[in-house]
Structure 1
Amino acid sequence: TDKLFAHLSRQLIKQGGILIIFVQLRKESNEFFAKDMISFFPSFVAKYIYNSDNDTLKGSFDVVYMRESATRNKRRTIPCTYDWDSRQLKRDDNLF
């Protein structure tokens, strides 16, 4: 895992782009499998958690880490609802 993330980090710097990586969470705890590696390389880390297994329309982004936060908060929760008709994930609150 560390070699993979190091390679992706080098390629990102070389190409000068944006890289989004999706990883699986542990089902019982909603934790990352390699949480030290996940938090070491990126500038932004978040996980999307459903409110319940039965309701897949509501959930929240649990922002674990932001390197350069505009509000100095490194962590926050952003509640969201999936609009089935428009196929959009919409924020349920006003952050600022």
Structure 2
Amino acid sequence: MSIEVVTDVMRDALIRVLIVSAPVILVAMIVGLIISIFQATTQIQEQTLSFVPKLAAIFVTLIIAGNFMINILLEFTRHIFRMISNL
């Protein structure tokens, strides 16, 4: 196994991690922004107010995008196993 193969696998793994985590991170960021705008307009400075909606939004996102995430990770795992079997 050469250094080029290892760097290609590492690069592919990092890209897949970004792809898999992107939906959850984007939803959490958007919900946090909406809640912070709501807090700024109503002048409610409760720290726990943003926790429950973010948690619910992340849970719903995982339910909706879970199949997509699992498929990406399974494809990568199969690719790695194929590479191992070719050694």
Q: TM-score, normalised by structure 2?
A: 0.23
Tell me which protein shows more helix as a share of its residues. 2
Tell me which protein shows more strand as a share of its residues. 1
Larger relative contact order (C-alpha < 8 A, sep ≥ 6)? 2
